Amino acid sequence: MWQINMDSPVMAQKARVVVAPAAAPDGGYARFILLSCFLVFGLTYGVIKVFGVFYVEIHRHFEATATGTSWITSIAVATLHFLAPLASVLSARYSHRSVVIMGGLMCGIGVVFGSFARNLSELYLTVGFLNGFGYAMTWPTTVTMLGLYFEKRRPVANALASSGECVLTFVLTPLFQLLIDSYSWRGALLILGGLQLNLCVCGMLLRPLKATRYVICEVKAGEEGLSQELLPKDDSEQSKPSFLDAEELRVSDGSDHGTIKAFLEDPEEIPNSTMKIQDSNNRTKRAELRTKILRYIDYTLITNAKFMVYSMFGVFAALGFFAPGLFLIPYARSKGIEEYQAAALMSISAVLDLFGRVFFGWLANLRLVEMVLQLTATMLLLGTVLLLCPLASSYLELAAFSAAYGLMYGAAVAIHITMLAEIVGVNRLGSALGFFLLIRSSGGLLGPPIAGFFIDKMSDYGSGFLMAGASLIVSALFLILLHQMNRRGQGSSTNNHHTHTDNMGQSVRAEAEELNMT
């Protein structure tokens, strides 16, 4: 309990309360949040990877170009990234649970309507935009919730949650190849739409994290002073993301009382007093408006140099992340690989992807090396693997490539969201994730079509992998720049500490010399 005594007879009219941030439990109900995030990863990014099976059939059915067909996936990915800040705002305004349920409904409806599409434009609208809108409502919101529930084990939790993408890719790729053979690609899409309605169930699992809100429950005004007692009160809505750790306690004195007192002492001062009170009220209103805006979306992140450098890494990484998964099966089919063997390549990639996420997530949790260095090495290796892909032609060579690609891809995905939390802090993760995905949306939108453009020009799917590999290597350069910024920041902090210590030592020596002289 806190007591605030003020030596003033003025009665308080307004007060702000101190909000204690919720502590991450790292256990208990956090396991259900982890399960929800696991399924969300599988039903969003896992489905994006599985769409390579549909790509071949849609490409044939509409007799479209590789660029035209790839726009379906790129629109979904870009919409996911571009509308992620909207998900952050809606989560802060309403709740994580309701936003994810709404997103699940949009995903299911979009894919079901897409099964009746008569041309590529209708697929762009349904499977592309509407489905991507649902992804934007579900994935960032669930990942933010996971970050609130885990702190000490956050790298491992993110790695385990993201492994849902691998598990469902492994299961769904051969399953949907079988469904396409049995019911055509339209029937398979209809079943996929029903499957994605399970995202609503994932949303129901998102229980708000309880925090402590200290509210004014009693106000006592006496002749000698003002006493306010603050008592703790549970508030389940504190799971909503906010970059503010706590709000300052502010008590404003009664404006009417102050005006009357000033008038009695000096009637000529009343205009000045009134203007001062009005200016104070205007400043208070502006501060309250700014606090409300920042609660929903932290626009100050654009002034964070490290965050912007990391966002540029995200743009070039997105250019290369999504094209290989989309074109791996068509590339194998172009080399004469049988359709089920080609689909099995995605399953091989998913198994190694799963191992990479769990192992490298655990490795990051040990903090043996800086996370930015681990991510840099991973991106360089992943880009190199993609550049070597066109050399593979037989099934065994393609299987080896799929394994290497899956391992490195899993290592990158396991820590790149955790890295974002390291840069901005967990309290700003909701807004940071939204802005990060918004900036990265350009890479997600243009990556597959650019790869498709090279494929159409070169008449070879291998050229798409070359483009993706080059983009990933460029993205690693921004991580190197971020590492240098971190080192400079640590160096300046150390210098400031030494300077402060030297100043303290000099003052102590000066005092000692004065004592000796006296």
CATH of the domain at 49: 1.20.1250.20
- Domain finish residue from 296, 311, 328: 296
The confidence band for 441, taking pLDDT boundaries of 50, 70 and 90, is confident
Show the tokens assigned to 172. 């769904």
Domain assignment present for residue 78? The answer is yes
With a cut of 80, say whether residue 251 has pLDDT above it. no
Domain that residue 286 falls in: 2-21+210-242+244-296
Cβ–Cβ under 8 Å, residues 192 and 47: yes
**How many domains are contained in the chain?**
2
Both 310 and 273 in a single domain? no
What does the pLDDT read at residue 135?
94
Domain assignment present for residue 514? The answer is no
- Domain finish residue from 233, 261, 296: 296
Cα 431 from chain centroid?
8
Average pLDDT for 244-267: 45
Both 267 and 251 in a single domain? yes
Both 203 and 217 in a single domain? no
Both 349 and 483 in a single domain? yes
Q: What is the pTM of this model?
A: 0.64
- Beta-carbon count within 10 A of 73 CB: 27
Both 322 and 388 in a single domain? yes
Q: How far is CA 27 from CA 154, 361, 417, in A?
A: 11, 18, 20
Domain assignment present for residue 499? The answer is no
Both 217 and 235 in a single domain? yes
- Residue 45 one-letter amino acid: Y
Q: If DSSP codes are grouped into helix, strand and coil, which group holds residue 338?
A: coil
43/429 Cα distance (integer angstroms): 22
Show the tokens assigned to 365. 């949790």
The CB-side HSE value for 78 (13 A sphere, CA atoms) comes to: 20
With a cut of 70, say whether residue 513 has pLDDT above it. no
Which of the pair, 518 or 276, is modelled with greater confidence?
276
What does the pLDDT read at residue 274?
58
Q: If DSSP codes are grouped into helix, strand and coil, which group holds residue 351?
A: helix
Average pLDDT for 221-241: 44
Both 225 and 329 in a single domain? no
Both 252 and 389 in a single domain? no
Interstrand relation of 211-221 and 226-235 (parallel, antiparallel or unpaired):
antiparallel
Domain assignment present for residue 516? The answer is no
3-state helix, strand and coil shares in percent for the chain, rounded to the nearest 5: 80, 5, 15
Q: Which residues of 111-137 are buried (b: 16+ CB within 10 A; e: fewer)?
A: bbbbbebeebeebbbbbbbbbbbbbbb
Residue 353 DSSP one-character state = H
pLDDT digits (tens, 9 = 90+) for 28-69: 888 899 999 999 999 998 898 888 889 888 988 998 888 888
Both 50 and 96 in a single domain? yes
Both 331 and 371 in a single domain? yes
Both 288 and 259 in a single domain? yes
